[in-house]
Structure 1
């Protein structure tokens, strides 16, 4: 019968590629590890390692076995992290995924406010595109997703749509910086830095300029708002982006002005469909909505 000790030793040898390295990890002698490996091979009925210069070479059978062993240890590692959270008095874990527009500073502020309110929780925040956010939440790899509309609600729960008005970015010293509000007419003929064509925000910006019969002087385009803002900071043109990135990068060297015409940035929360939302997730989303409200005025 295969024993946990044999599996532990096998994993150590796979990680270090040597009996000596495995012995150090397990705090036993090299001969003890070698003996355990021989016993495991006898039990399995196939060879796990062949000797080569500088260490051991796992056989194809060893690699196949290690794939299964690794899954088991990932589960054990998850249990160990949970135990560590319990010892530290933490309430749980919150996995958040979002589109880049909200991870350049805004969601980090939400996390700070949330933790300062007394919640003791482990939080991970990762950045993905729209489709990836929805997929990760649907598969249960994230507890909360923030993504731009439109959103396919087949596999996830989708909150009511939230909006925030886009703003105009101008390089420091630009002639329009003296204005309190910028109209689309003001931007006629200005070098304009655009978002990528396949984003909802870009589609709305294009529609607003078409409706006003205003042609832009283009030339530069970037997929993410942060990249667009960086171009403006270099004095390469003006732009219209969502307010979250604009405020987060305001120190980089541009002026933010509201637009006379309203162009909305729309987004929503997505949560797993087949699971009950935790109290921690609900509390975080309440905090998120409170912070969003400051951008909707």
Structure 2
């Protein structure tokens, strides 16, 4: 019940999934909180929000679920089943620009593997990493409050994308002052790199013409392709979007961009999980080299 509540954040939906009733779930939740001696959820706008203590408890609970999952996988292996499944959590930008290459490379090695990709905004994604179990998670910000190991990988610098016929396309490298008279499609306030871009402009005394704010890099690229403005995006999205509708230019003062790869523990729960981490690292390294070869980032070793 606790795990289902963490996932649905709804007493009604939890009752439906568990073939129970809303009063029963509410009663059992109160009994559990009384037994524990602390609140697990707060009600906000008719939805539940887990408390910090609930998230801390969930780290321990996950270990029990993990043990059960390992027993199930072992039973399948003993029975001779060829069933492998990987669950990946990532930002929409990575689902678009990185994960397809990762899955393609891994399926060449293990064609019987199936995948489940959870693509969410950073805030919701971090909450899900705390509340669920994934074989791998890719985020921009740091993940705290959960067991596991995070590896930070630099994959280039933020770059500017624009329509091919845009005036800024004539520049080899873009300075903050170059943006003064043009519409800019911007990260939303909660984005990890929004503050760094703001500081980049502020340092030059420039206030960009904010035309559109959006939450995903892929939507920024689509809007640029539609001729709605220019955007400063992560290098993976830029490479995936580069073509007839969008061109890419580097920044005169680089803003380094990195990806945080999260694993449940130091060694991985199985060899398959280790392999996807290796393939992901290789894919990010390849992207960094492509960017450096095109002069879109500082050359990296």
Shorter-chain TM band: 0.5 to 0.7
Q: CA deviation at 1:265?
A: 2.7
1:143 is aligned to: 135
2:153 is aligned to: 162
Match of 1:228 among 220, 223, 227: 220
CA contact (8 A) 1:155 1:273 kept: no
Structure 1 residue 93 and structure 2 residue 91: aligned? no
What's the TM-score once normalised by structure 2's chain length? Answer: 0.65
SS at match of 2:185: strand
What's the TM-score once normalised by structure 1's chain length? Answer: 0.66
Gap regions ≥5 residues in structure 2: 1-15, 25-67, 293-301
Match of 1:197 among 171, 179, 189: 189
How far apart in 2 are the matches of 1:179 and 1:88? 57
How far apart in 2 are the matches of 1:255 and 1:261? 19
Gap regions ≥5 residues in structure 1: 1-59, 68-74
CA contact (8 A) 2:87 2:134 kept: yes
Correspondence list, 1:108-123, <5 A: 108-118=100-110, 120-123=112-115
Q: CA deviation at 1:251?
A: 4.2
Q: CA deviation at 1:135?
A: 3.6
Structure 1 residue 208 and structure 2 residue 214: aligned? no
How far apart in 2 are the matches of 1:64 and 1:197? 40
Deviation track 1:72-100 (CA, whole Å, cap 9, x = no partner) reads: xxx9xx969x859x76734x221111011
Q: CA deviation at 1:273?
A: 4.8
Match of 2:247 among 236, 247, 255: 255
Deviation track 1:134-193 (CA, whole Å, cap 9, x = no partner) reads: 3433444321111111321x2132423223311101112112223332222322221111
Aligned alpha-carbon RMSD (Å): 3.4
How far apart in 1 are the matches of 2:266 and 2:149? 13
How far apart in 2 are the matches of 1:106 and 1:293? 11
How far apart in 2 are the matches of 1:159 and 1:262? 24
2:32 is aligned to: none
SS at match of 2:151: coil
- Residues 133-142 or 280-289, more deviating: 133-142
SS at match of 2:206: coil
Task: Summarize the Cα distance change of 1:193–1:137 in structure 2 as closer, same or farther, 3 Å threshold.
Answer: closer
SS at match of 2:210: strand
How far apart in 2 are the matches of 1:162 and 1:143? 18
How far apart in 2 are the matches of 1:155 and 1:182? 39
SS at match of 2:193: helix
SS at match of 1:146: strand
CA contact (8 A) 2:161 2:247 kept: yes
How far apart in 1 are the matches of 2:276 and 2:111? 9
1:5 is aligned to: none
Q: CA deviation at 1:270?
A: 1.7
Aligned residue pairs total 226
CA contact (8 A) 1:94 1:121 kept: yes
